[in-house]
Amino acid sequence: MVPENEFDIDTLLDEVVTLPSLPDSVTKLTEMLDDPSCDMKDVAAVISSDPAIALKTLRLVNSAYYGLGQEVTSVDHATVLLGAKVLKNLAMTATAFDCMKASAADFLTHSVACGLAMKSLVLSGCIKGFVGSEDEAFTYGLIHDIGKIILEEYLPDECAEVGALVEDEGIPWYKAEQQVIGVDHAELGARLAQKWKLTSAVVNAIRGHHDLSMCAEEHRTLAASLSIANQLCGLSGYAAHPKNLLDIDPEMYVAADIKPDALPGVTNLYFDMRSSLDELLTLAD
């Protein structure tokens, strides 16, 4: 029997949920940075026009996460030092933090930790064929569960039912969402990534990070890697929810082509980077 409160994704988006839009400044910035001939002075002007994005960008640049070794005091200085790709990731990261500012502490910590875990997978060379930077990988991990924030905002009672179902029946969180709501956070997060006009790789990685059958074949390695990063931060004490299961389908390691002997190196990198975790968390304030 289908629960009375179960939605399909289109009904959810048409009648219940409003997906957040990217700030105009970030949309404009993304369009500019996609143009190789863009003038970086114009880029700096766009960032500076949005005080919230400018502040978070400068805080990120000066954080231990970037470790530049010199203080960056202006957006103009940041554009010279970082370049187009890094600035684009910075703006997206700042936007994601803004979306997460009202979320629970456990969830925010989990999201940042997953970003660091994805970065460690890239730096260790474990994600085959990944053409982005380690900063881009961080963004993947940061936003992978962003659909949960939307569900919590619009369907808090149903999300409480999800938590109870997970605890009572010992099933994965996304499966409980499917049972109670009819849509899981991975699908909703993928729809948000589409609305933000992120790449198909990002959209598919988010959509398939619990179930590889949900994403396109060419992006399954990335989705599986995101699943492994998700498990890594959960096992290290940063699960999204206290009652969340930490089991992972062994198929994920096969799909990601990550051998067991590579994991100690990944883990060491990840734990080395965790020193920047608390600092990054302050960016959601």
263-275, pLDDT tens digit by residue?
888 889 888 887 7
Question: In the chain, what is the greatest distance between 2 CA atoms, to the nearest angstrom?
Answer: 61
* Domain 9-19+103-284 CATH superfamily: Hypothetical protein af1432 (1.10.3210.10)
Per-residue pLDDT of the chain (285 residues; tens, 9 = 90+): 334 567 889 999 999 999 988 888 888 888 888 888 888 889 889 888 888 888 888 888 888 777 777 888 898 888 888 787 788 888 888 888 888 877 778 888 999 999 999 999 988 888 877 767 788 889 899 999 999 999 999 999 999 999 999 999 989 999 999 999 999 999 999 999 999 988 899 999 999 999 999 999 999 999 999 999 998 888 888 888 877 766 778 889 889 888 878 888 888 988 888 778 888 887 766
197: alpha, beta or left? (left if phi > 0; alpha if psi -120 to 50) = left
Both tokens of residue 166? 């997970």
CA nearest to 139, candidates 30, 35, 47, 244: 30
| CA pseudo-torsion sign 2, 159, 233, 57 | positive
Helix or strand holding residue 11 (H, E): helix 9-11
CA atoms within 13 A on the CB side of 40: 14
Copy the structure tokens of residue 90.
Answer: 């910075």
**pLDDT tens column, 73-86:** 898 888 888 787 78
Query: What is the pTM for the complete model shown?
Result: 0.88
